[in-house]
Amino acid sequence: MRVATWNVNSVRTRVGRIVDWLERSDVDVLAMQEIKCRVDQFPYEQFEAAGYHVEAHGTNQWNGVAIASRLPMVDVVRQFDDQPGYANTGEPVVEARAMAATVEGVRLWSLYVPNGRDLGHPHLAYKLEWLRILAEHAKGWQGQPLALMGDFNIAPFDHDVWDIAAFEGSTHVSEPEREAFRAFERIGMVDVVRDRAQGYTYWDYKAGRWQKGEGMRIDFVLGTAPFAELVTAARIDSGERAGDAPSDHVPVVVDIDVETELDDDRPMIF
């Protein structure tokens, strides 16, 4: 089974590109972030014409996540328990930043982690709390094949940005954010792409970052140990940052050997 995660930065603007990429890339399940539309605005027809069923979670023009799959999805949930909300004005609102589905016995989350905006901004405290609560839940998920897939808005290492000096005093590279990312690794989760594919996953539209090769690695697939055991390959499709009207993020793709998990007693044949 081939799964992927992609911050598409508006599914309505890019539906043609996305579906074309899905078919060309032989992807079974795609976790999308920043669909930037309500569920009633989602372009389901174009996905379904290509053989993909879509479960979406979007409430307005911001954020929004979805999962497209050509294999059956079960146990779809939107939001995680106790997901913190953000108080833009007035009462905190739980935003459309998380959903999950199970495909072929593998639990897959599509996550759009809050940006954080600036050091000291309330949005950064929101980001850290959001990750803290998610990690608390994830502790209880370690016994099953499960992956947290999405835009974490964190660069875990200095070499995950083009020039760490340019990020002095910025979010995405701060120690509290990196600590929040490492918390998932401490409970047993593994970045299953890190050792299999190099490079950035995001290049800002501004200042010609793509043309200058100035990107960031902020999109990840974190797997439980039972998930990580199934992974056979991974790649970052940086070519998707080029061409006509690209997203500022590119797809991260992971191949998993589901049969190994589903049939434990299968004789080993080499």
Partner DNA sequence: ATGGTAGGTAGCCTA
Cβ 212 to DNA shortest distance, Å: 11
**Residue 170 within binding range of DNA, rule CB under 7 A:** no
**Residue 98 within binding range of DNA, rule CB under 7 A:** no
**Cβ-defined contacts of 158-165 (< 8 Å, 24+):** 160/200, 160/216, 160/217, 160/218, 161/215, 161/216, 161/217, 162/200, 162/209, 162/212, 162/213, 162/214, 162/215, 162/216, 163/214
**Residue 119 within binding range of DNA, rule CB under 7 A:** no
From the list 98-106, 112-120, 189-197, 228-236, the region that binds DNA by CB under 7 A is 112-120
Per CB under 7 A, the list member of 206, 211, 263, 269 interacting with DNA is 206
By CB under 7 A, the count of residues binding DNA is 19
Phi-psi region of 199 (alpha: psi -120 to 50; beta: other; left: phi over 0): left
**Residue 215 within binding range of DNA, rule CB under 7 A:** no
**Residue 114 within binding range of DNA, rule CB under 7 A:** yes
Cβ 117 to DNA shortest distance, Å: 5
Contacts of 4 (CB under 8 A, 6+ apart): 25, 27, 29, 30, 31, 149, 251, 252, 253, 254
Residues that bind DNA (CB under 7 A): 9-10, 12-13, 36-37, 60-63, 88, 114-115, 117, 123, 205-207, 245
